[in-house]
Structure 1
Amino acid sequence: MSNELEAFIEYVSIIKALSKKSVGAYKSDLMALEETLRKPLITLDSNSLLNALSIYKNKRTLNRKLSSVNAFFDFCYKNQFSTEKTKFKFSKIPKLLPKFLSYEEIQNSLNQIDRSTFLGLRDYALILFLYASGTRISECLALRREDIDGEWLHIRHAKGEKERMVPIAKVAIMAIENYLNEKKKDTLFIWSNYKGEKLSRISAYKITQKYLGVSPHVLRHSYATSLITGGADLRVVQELLGHASLLTTQIYTHIQKQNLKETVQVCHPMSKEQK
């Protein structure tokens, strides 16, 4: 390991106090480059580095390596180990539409749940609630009875500590009430396991995986997708999801565009004319 690289690792681990995992990633990425090229990184030109990194065909992996290299050279420049401010551009990764389920797919799965048992009632209510509210699983599992007021859901334990109010469908509230009425043990949190303990993220994942074959987060995407295709404004969806930035919500923009296109094709008379 070169002296400059050793100084950088010391900087990120002691001065910046990064996690062991982050420090390990930096160390692994940068040491691998020095070992491959058999030269200190500080002495290498841009072409040599890019050629060495070209072996990574996965763009996300490549960008992680580039991030490590950029952080190293930024450190060297600021500490006068280098007179040049070297920075590599990241590879563009196409934004993929998050996986989602249609209302019909969710409804068909819900119909398969045996609601004659307590756990069946809970699983049915949980899936229905996730789709009806669009909550993150952490927000869902932190809910208490007082957080549901009429047809409104008060999300107190939101990401970034930003509370929000979300309207929720009556059918989901009724499902929760039916489940709570069968609860033998009164608990602080709404969702609990068969022992009466707070339901864990792993258990929630197993429930949605069992009936839908997806993670709980897919139901959040399904909620947003249903709103967008139903004509909801993007900023309204942002508020309901609790996104700090509209940029995060814009992953659903092309759903909106596709829905508009399909509407025009169905409704506009000129779209039916033959060329």
Structure 2
Amino acid sequence: MSKELEAFLEYILVTKTLSKKSVEAYKGDLLQLEEKFQKPLISLDTPTILSLLSEYKNKRTLNRKLSSINAFFDFCYKEEFLAEKTKIKSAKIPKLLPKFLSYEAIQSGLSMIDRSTWIGKRDYALILFLYASGARISECLELSLGDIDGEWLYIRHAKGQKERIVPLAQVAKDAIDEYLGELPFEKDFIWCNYKGGKLSRISAFKITQKYLGVSPHVLRHSYATSLIRGGADIRVVQELLGHSSLLTTQIYTHIQKQDLKDTVDVCHPMAKENL
């Protein structure tokens, strides 16, 4: 291993305080190049590096390795191991539409829940809440009783410490009230496991997987998709989801565009014509 690579690994471990797992990932990506060409990584030019990376057909894997390489070269430039800054452009990855469920699919899953027990009422209320609020599962599991005030939900444990207020559908509020009315524990938080402790992310995942076959985050996507399809303004959706950047929210506009295309393909007579 070259001295520059050793210095970089020490830097990201000690100064940047990256996890050992992350450091090992960087080490694996970068050491692969040095061992392949039997030269210090700092001496390799861009065409030589790309010749090895061309073996990777998966663009996400390619970009991960490029990220490691660019971080290393950036470090070398700042430490004056290199006279010129080198950066290799990442490969363009087509945006994937987020997975989501239709309202009918969610209703079908809800109908499978046995609501004769408080556990069943909890599962029913949890799924309704996630779909009605668009909350992240981490935000959901930190909710306390005082965070729901009438038809408003106060999300105080938001990503990036950005609190927000969103309206909560009455049907979800009613389901939560019914669940809490039979909860055999007195707690300040809302979502309990069978022992009376806080519901974990793993348990929440098992609940949505059991009845809907998806992770809790898909219900957040489903919430946003329903709003966009219903004609909601993209900036309103951004505010409801708590996205700091509109670019993050704009992925959902691709769904709207696909809906328009599908409508034209089905309804317009020229869509089926071959000229």
Matches within 5 A, 1:92-131: 92-131=92-131
1:113-163 Cα distance to aligned partner (Å, 9 max, x none): 111111111111110111011100011111111111111111111111111
What root-mean-square deviation, in Å, do the aligned CA atoms of Structure 1 and Structure 2 show? 1.7
Question: 1:37–1:52: 8 Å Cα contact kept in structure 2?
Answer: no
Could you tell me which runs of 5 or more consecutive residues in structure 1 were left unpaired when the two chains were aligned.
Answer: none
- Paired with 2:266 and 2:202, the residues of 1 have a C-alpha distance of 43
- Paired with 2:269 and 2:117, the residues of 1 have a C-alpha distance of 52
Matches within 5 A, 1:1-275: 1-261=1-261, 271=268
Aligned pair count?
272
**Displacement of 1:184:** 1.2
**Displacement of 1:44:** 1.4
Q: Which amino acid aligns with 1:57?
A: K
More displaced stretch, 241-250 vs 8-17: 8-17
Q: Which amino acid aligns with 2:250?
A: Q
- Paired with 1:246 and 1:82, the residues of 2 have a C-alpha distance of 37
Residues 84 and 107 of structure 1, relative CA distance in 2, 3 Å threshold: same
> Given the two structures, how large is their TM-score scaled by the length of structure 1?
0.94
- Paired with 1:228 and 1:139, the residues of 2 have a C-alpha distance of 22
- Secondary structure, counterpart of 2:247 in structure 1: helix
- Paired with 2:209 and 2:36, the residues of 1 have a C-alpha distance of 43
Residues 265 and 23 of structure 1, relative CA distance in 2, 3 Å threshold: closer
More displaced stretch, 50-59 vs 227-236: 50-59
> Given the two structures, how large is their TM-score scaled by the length of structure 2?
0.94
Q: Which amino acid aligns with 1:193?
A: N
Could you tell me which runs of 5 or more consecutive residues in structure 2 were left unpaired when the two chains were aligned.
Answer: none
Question: 1:59–1:93: 8 Å Cα contact kept in structure 2?
Answer: yes
